[in-house]
Amino acid sequence: MIDEVTLHLKAGNGGDGKVSFRREKFVPRGGPDGGDGGNGGSIYIKSDSNLKTLDQYSGKKGFEAKDGQSGGQSKKHGGNSPDIVLYVPVGTQIKDADTDEVIADLDSPEMNYRIASGGRGGRGNWHFRSSINTTPRTAEEGTRGEEKNIILNLKVIANVGLIGFPNAGKSTILSVLTKAKPKIADYPFTTLSPNLGVMEKSDRKPAMIIADIPGLIGGASKGKGLGTRFLKHIERCKLLVYVLSPEFTDLENNGDDIAKALLSQLNTIKAELKTFNKRLTELPSIIILNKIDLLSKEKRDQILNIFINNDIDIIILSAATRENIDSLKSALINKLQ
């Protein structure tokens, strides 16, 4: 999945105005009749809800609109050049590549932003006629079209972000909460791009969009694993779900030791988020322990007691067996409300 591209954009220049005089029989000194130049093509960026990635711009260095045509004789107007429209997924930010400033945020469908204006066509010499100057030999040049270096930066639109270590079961959770069908396998970094799913609500309230964010590891903020490349996709979320898994601990240990390892896992994830963007750690959140089918009831109870003693609410569940999935659904709805 390509979620960031840098492009050089050049709008078309305006066509030059024409210096011309009428050449009519029996009129040896006809008046000025030079036409105006046409406008150069502009470049627009438009959000399209049917697009999910920026893959269509892979390998592209940029886009250049055509120049307007020059004016002609007999006040003939030069042709205007067509505009270029670049379509992007909803959630795409347009940034100035030179200043890193956000120019526009296309966070709704059908938003249309003119990123580079085409040049205006110059006026022909007939505009400059006067009683003093009946044969003007001056016409305007067309103005230059805007030229910009931009970054298209896609941040998915989701209410809820699932975040946790690789192979914690986030993709499986997404698949049981929604109709999404992410690729799932038993090896780290199965998910190499954010997956989105829609959780329908029975009370006819707006559906909830959930994003499965590729796994973090300790040191991700320094480039380890997949790094922080995908964390930008949760910057729009209103609620984060921290997904913990006992698989990253020694399952032969007692429940207390597993709980301590899970707390360390949670702290590592939060530390990576804080390094990337402190605001993320301040978002409303739910903490869940997935894959409880791997634990005995005794160990589950011990883990719950440790979290309670640390004043941390946690939902235990198994996405694989669907155990307690309804509890998570209710928690998501209540928390967002």
* Per-residue pLDDT tens digits for 35-83: 999 999 999 999 998 888 899 998 999 999 999 999 999 999 999 999 9
308 Ramachandran zone, left/alpha/beta (phi>0; psi -120 to 50) = alpha
Number of alpha carbons in the 13 Å side-chain half-sphere of residue 246? 25
Same domain, 197 and 289: yes
Q: What is the pLDDT of residue 187?
A: 43
Q: What is the pLDDT of residue 204?
A: 62
For the segment 188-202, what is each residue's pLDDT rounded down to a tens digit?
444 456 788 888 876
Number of alpha carbons in the 13 Å side-chain half-sphere of residue 104? 16
- Dist CA 249 CA 77 (whole Å): 75
Task: Check whether 8 has a pLDDT greater than 90.
Answer: yes
Task: Check whether 27 has a pLDDT greater than 70.
Answer: no
Same domain, 115 and 85: yes
Same domain, 209 and 327: yes
> Residues 10, 160: contact at Cβ < 8 Å?
no
Stated pTM of the model: 0.76
For the segment 219-266, what is each residue's pLDDT rounded down to a tens digit?
544 554 444 667 778 888 899 999 999 988 888 888 899 999 999 999
- Dist CA 324 CA 337 (whole Å): 20
CATH code: domain of residue 243: 3.40.50.300
Same domain, 110 and 168: no
Q: Strand pairing partners for 149?
A: 8
Same domain, 81 and 205: no
Same domain, 312 and 170: yes
Same domain, 5 and 135: yes
- Dist CA 54 CA 92 (whole Å): 9
Same domain, 29 and 87: yes
CATH code: domain of residue 55: 2.70.210.12
Residue 300: which domain range? 160-336
End residue of a domain, out of 154, 179, 199: 154
Q: What is the pLDDT of residue 36?
A: 97
Same domain, 308 and 185: yes
Mean pLDDT for 19-37 is: 81
End residue of a domain, out of 154, 177, 207: 154
Q: Positive or negative CA dihedral for 233, 238, 242, 243?
A: negative
Nearest to 107 by CA among 90, 84, 120: 90
End residue of a domain, out of 100, 127, 154: 154
Q: Strand pairing partners for 154?
A: 92
DSSP 186-246: SSTT---S-EEEEE--TTSPPPEEEEEPPPP-TTGGGT-TTTTTTGGGGTT-SEEEEEE-G
For the segment 77-126, what is each residue's pLDDT rounded down to a tens digit?
999 999 999 999 999 999 999 999 999 999 999 999 999 999 999 999 99
Same domain, 287 and 144: no
CB within 8 Å of 83: residues ≥ 6 apart:
41, 42, 43, 44, 65, 118
Q: Say how many domains are in the chain.
A: 2
> Residues 329, 303: contact at Cβ < 8 Å?
no
Same domain, 85 and 195: no
Same domain, 207 and 328: yes
Q: What is the pLDDT of residue 1?
A: 62
- Dist CA 129 CA 182 (whole Å): 70
For the segment 294-337, what is each residue's pLDDT rounded down to a tens digit?
999 999 999 999 999 999 999 999 999 999 999 999 999 998 87
